[in-house]
Amino acid sequence: MKNIVILISGEGSNMAAIVRAAEQGRWAERFGARVAAVLSNRPEAAGLAFARERGIATAAISHKDFATREAFDAALAAAIEPHAPALVVLAGFMRILTPGFVERYAGRLINIHPSLLPAFPGLNTHQRAIEAGCRVAGATVHQVTVELDHGPILDQAVVPVLADDTPATLADRVLTQEHRLYPRAIEGWLRRG
């Protein structure tokens, strides 16, 4: 079985979309894949309850309990490893990972970013797209590399930027597409083997 471990920091709406897609798309039967665990750096993350309700293993490793990023990442990896992940999925995981962690999962660590990379890496993507006068925006699923938001692109989704858009309205429209894009990108990764 190809185990997928999803890392979240909050509500976990992308994680929920992936879990539903795995169930509805019969990933276990078609690809020998399943969402094996959902981990969070925030014990109060609402997405953990969703995962538990679906019988998925969960764990919370608070980054606040560690003096360094390296120590947190080591503890996170120790929580991931028992699930023997074929793929580690960052779904709203709001931590910058250390080079050691990224290298450990190289080729099987992916992220979704709310812009059409390589445009607007980092934060405040929707505000920056509006200020730049972009006519389109979107989201990108990419492999994670040591350089933030610069890994190989796996898939993208595009939405128009409307004349009256605010960062919030644009974010809502992009998030709707993220919920379709992320499961599609993971299914593509599984199909390619």
Mean pLDDT of the chain: 97
Instruction: Tell me the per-residue pLDDT of 109-134, one tens digit each, with 9 for 90 and over.
Output: 999 999 999 999 999 999 999 999 99
Position 147, amino acid: E
Alpha helices in the chain (DSSP H): 13-24, 27-31, 47-53, 69-80, 99-104, 125-131, 167-192
Return d(Cα 108, Cα 105) in angstroms, integer.
Answer: 5
**Single-letter residue type at 99:** P
CB of 124 closer than 8 Å to CB of 171: no
Q: State if pTM tops 0.95.
A: yes
Cα dihedral sign, 56-101-137-122: positive
Active site residues: 113
**CA 130 – CA 162 distance, rounded (Å):** 9
Degrees (nearest 5) of the Cα angle 57, 61, 65? 165
The candidate with the shortest Cα–Cα distance to 47, out of 18, 79, 82, is 18
What CA dihedral angle connects 113, 118, 119 and 122, to 10 degrees?
A: 50
CA distance 70 to 50: 29
pLDDT at 193: 78
Domains of the chain: 2-192 (3.40.50.170)
* Residue 163 backbone phi and psi in degrees, to 5: -60, -35
Which pLDDT score is estimated for 22?
A: 98
* Of 67, 70, 100, 96, nearest in space to 7 by CA: 96
Q: For 155, how many CA atoms within 13 A lie in the half-sphere containing its CB?
A: 17
Name residues of the chain where pLDDT drops below 50.
none
